[in-house]
Structure 1
Amino acid sequence: MDCMRANKLKLNPDKTEMLLVNGSPDQMMDVRPVLDEVTLPLKEQVPSPTACQPANKDTLQREIEVLKRKDLALDQEIAQLSAEGYSLEELEDHISLLHEYNEIKDSGQMLLGRLAVIRGVTTRELYPEFDLDVND
């Protein structure tokens, strides 16, 4: 738990469960385990994914219609962009460049974060030093 606190990590009670190793669930009915100030549910108290109700036919039909309309709208948008002179290759190049930009930006953010930890400041405090815009 000290490691979690040191790294400012917290438990999510919706994604954390406790397995009762000794005893019966009846013995634990009034016991609500707490770990790092988070009350944990017992395994029996967490609904299984199979407990979800399947969608009925009408709901599925409406979802299909919505998806068909979105597909049609995207087809129309593609046709319009093609008519304006844009090409699929240009789009793929643009997307590739955006991915590269995001990877470089993520690396920069990671380095700023490490530098902030070393200096004992926030990353926001480092932005002016490197002439960066906080909203960028």
Structure 2
Amino acid sequence: VGEGSAGPRPRSLETGAHRAQGGRVWGSRRTEPGLNRSYRGTFRSPRPSPKSGQTDGTGEESLHFDIQKLKEKNDMLDKEISQLISEGYRVDELEDHIAQLHEYNDIKDIGQMLLGKLAVIRGVTTKDLYPEFGLDMND
């Protein structure tokens, strides 16, 4: 089979010497002699299994429980919103505050980048430049 042909490729590229040792070549990966999939252990899900007495999340009972919890959380958040509104907070003020925080963070990032470039030029650390510019390490 020449270059560029679409013919089938062999699955196992075992060599006689390697086969005699018990190892295999799969593509470009070699497996150690005597090691195979069974030594890797069984698959274990990263999702924890339910504790005894709990449903596994697939039953109707679990669904109703989840819905009830979400309704309770929604009610709690509605109460918090009402309290904040009664204290004089407004949604448009919050959005403006968030926009200002984004702008502040962008400006701070640019300042940090400039300090870093200046530190490289001078051959010092950015920490060394903070006192020169009247900056606190917590800034």
Give TM-score scaled by structure 1 length.
0.55
State yes or no: 1:124 paired with 2:127.
Answer: yes
Offset at 1:72? 3.4
Q: Kindly tell me: are residues 64 and 107 of structure 1, through their superposed partners in 2, closer, same or farther at Cα, counting changes over 3 Å?
A: farther
Identity %: 55
Q: Kindly tell me: are residues 27 and 99 of structure 1, through their superposed partners in 2, closer, same or farther at Cα, counting changes over 3 Å?
A: closer
State yes or no: 1:84 paired with 2:87.
Answer: yes
Deviations 1:14-33 (A, max 9, x none): xxxxxxxx951695234xxx
Aligned residues: 96
Q: Kindly tell me: are residues 128 and 76 of structure 1, through their superposed partners in 2, closer, same or farther at Cα, counting changes over 3 Å?
A: same
The 1-side partners of 2:87 and 2:81 are apart by 10
Using CA pairs below 8 Å that are at least 6 residues apart, which structure has the higher relative contact order? 1
Deviations 1:55-86 (A, max 9, x none): 8417x757666555444333222111100111
- Unaligned ranges ≥5, structure 1: 1-21, 31-44, 46-50
The 1-side partners of 2:80 and 2:73 are apart by 10
For residues 33-72 of structure 1, what are the structure 2 equivalents within 5 Å?
56-57=56-57, 61=63, 67-72=70-75
Which runs of 4 or more aligned residues in structure 1 lie more than 6 Å from their structure 2 counterparts after TM superposition? none
RMSD: 3.4
The 1-side partners of 2:29 and 2:97 are apart by 61
The 1-side partners of 2:122 and 2:68 are apart by 55
Which structure has the bigger radius of gyration?
2
- Unaligned ranges ≥5, structure 2: 1-12, 14-24, 33-39, 50-55
Q: Kindly tell me: are residues 73 and 121 of structure 1, through their superposed partners in 2, closer, same or farther at Cα, counting changes over 3 Å?
A: farther
